[in-house]
Amino acid sequence: MMTAHSFYRPLSGVDLLERTANDPRERGLVMLEAFARIEKAEPAVRAMTAVGRREHAVAAAVAAKGPLAGMPVAVKDIFDTADFVTRYGSPIYEGHQPKSDAALVTLLRRNGAVIVGKTVTSEFAYMAPTVTRNPCDLERTAGGSSSGSAAAVAAGIVPFAIGSQTGGSTIRPASFCGIAGFKPTFGMLPTVGMKCFSWSFDTVGLFAAGVRDVAYLAQVLSGRPLAVDDSSAGPVFGVPLSYPWTEPSANAGAVLDTAVRAIEAAGGRVRQVRFGAWMSELIAAHDTIQRYEAWQALGFEYDYHRADLSPMLAGFLDRAAAVDVASYAEACVLMEQGKARLAELFDGVTALLTPSAPDEALDGLGSTGDPAFNRNWTLLGCPCVNVPGLRGERGGPIGVQVICRPWDDRACLQAAAFVEHAIAATAAIDPAAR
């Protein structure tokens, strides 16, 4: 069973903004509280690679203006920052100091956020395990590659954090850590200044305590009307009969069943859907495209610093070198064909509902987990939300994943909020349903 820890205490960013509205003194206090939580949690959780100076952050929070005024935010260490060392999770870039901020970091600052530090990432946002521990249970992984960002929110260090997803690097850590994670439509948020792994898939990911919070952050950064409300009446969710990738564990399957019952009790509807054979073809297509692009994107590091790469990444790039242009082009055609057929999956349903990961977080830090339930949706560019609130038989969080068609981000967030509220209502009646 899960070992209880006091480090798991995610904070609502929307609630903090309401507390600090038009009150510079309160913004300063919120920042001081963030640094106090860093001091308490960081030695055990190990979510951060760099932390700013307290007095500078407090002064910035007091003076901040905008929709994120004074909010402490942590940024995954694959985004360039002019005032923090950016290592991309690799010793190759020890002490590397960019001259400018990534575009996403600039958006945060323009909207009043205060960057309190950088968060741990798997090496170049691939799959190598990290030192970060799960705030829900320090003996388990926080996932990856956005391990530090998810853990920083779950531990209450910050109300908002930035990550990324190329396979499952936002949804899976959010599931493991029991918080909301949002992978928006591919291309909605800028990746300029983010270390590239695969330009066809790399997507900015957002973390917050709950769906309302992550939707608000997405709205601010995108300029689109994404904030959720209570207007969603009876959405229809499609639940797959089976999966062309790894089947969920019995544990994850039971959690999904609990979510389905909660949705139906709240007035939503659920219908079964079937994945066509073309969904199976996309699994290999994702692998081929990612390998081909990573071989080029990390060409400098491989050619000049191979000895400094982890065995996992070096081996991946060794194999990636064998992917030829013809295979890559064929995989890209399959990707575009898949995108053209997406409407089939959403015929008669508002959103799809699946487990966010095959199971609870793994024991130990030897693996970041399996992204099988996320890769196809990343390839297809779909918006996805991890909905927190449920736990597995071993006591760890397991999220359910809400998926919509590209550019239906608000519908995706709205449907996710419906699921979150339904789960909370069921748990209030029957705490064992958690």
Distance CA 353, CA 270 (A): 9
Is residue 122 annotated as a catalytic residue, yes or no?
no
User: Is 169 in the active site?
Assistant: yes
List the catalytic residue out of 149, 164, 169, 310.
Answer: 169
- The 3-state DSSP class for residue 147 equals helix
Q: Which of 145, 222, 310, 356 is catalytic?
A: 145
Q: How far apart are CA 320 and CA 165, in angstroms?
A: 19
Give the DSSP letter string of 15-40: HHHHHHTT-HHHHHHHHHHHHHHHHH
Dist CA 323 CA 329 (whole Å): 10
pLDDT of 132: 98
Look-up of token digits 């977080």: 361
What's the pLDDT score for residue 426? 84
Which stretches does DSSP call E strand in 100-199? 114-119, 133-134, 137-141, 160-165, 180-183
Contact 182, 96 (CB under 8 A): no
Using alpha carbons only, what angle is made at residue 239 by residues 164 and 276, rounded to the nearest 5 degrees?
85
**130-139 pLDDT, tens digit each:** 999 999 999 9
Q: What's the half-sphere exposure (Cβ side, CA atoms, 13 Å) at 405? A: 13
Length, in residues, of the chain: 434
Q: CATH number of the domain at 13-222, out of 3.90.190.10, 3.90.1300.10, 3.40.50.300, 1.20.1740.10?
A: 3.90.1300.10
Q: Are the C-beta atoms of 179 and 150 separated by less than 8 Å? A: yes
d(CA 133, CA 43): 10
3-state secondary structure of 137: strand
Distance CA 405, CA 155 (A): 32
Residues of the chain with pLDDT under 50: 1-4
In the residue annotation, 40 being an active-site residue is answered as no
> Per the structure block, which two tokens stand in for 13?
């960013």
Comparing C-alpha atoms, which of 171, 144, 117 is closest to residue 366?
A: 144
The pLDDT tens digits of the residues spanning 17-50 come to 999 999 999 999 999 999 999 999 999 999 999 9
The pLDDT, as a whole number, for residue 431 is 52
Q: How far apart are CA 400 and CA 351, in angstroms?
A: 12
**Token output for 66:** 């905008």
- Tracing tokens 């903090």 back to the chain, one arrives at 16
Output the pLDDT for position 434.
53
| Catalytic site residue from 76, 118, 183, 195 | 76
Secondary structure of 355-390 in the HEC alphabet? Answer: ECCCCCCCECCCCCCCCCCCHHHHHCCCCEEEECCC
- CA-nearest of 92, 207, 30, 76 to 84 is 76
What percent helix, strand, coil does the chain show, rounded to 5? 45, 15, 40
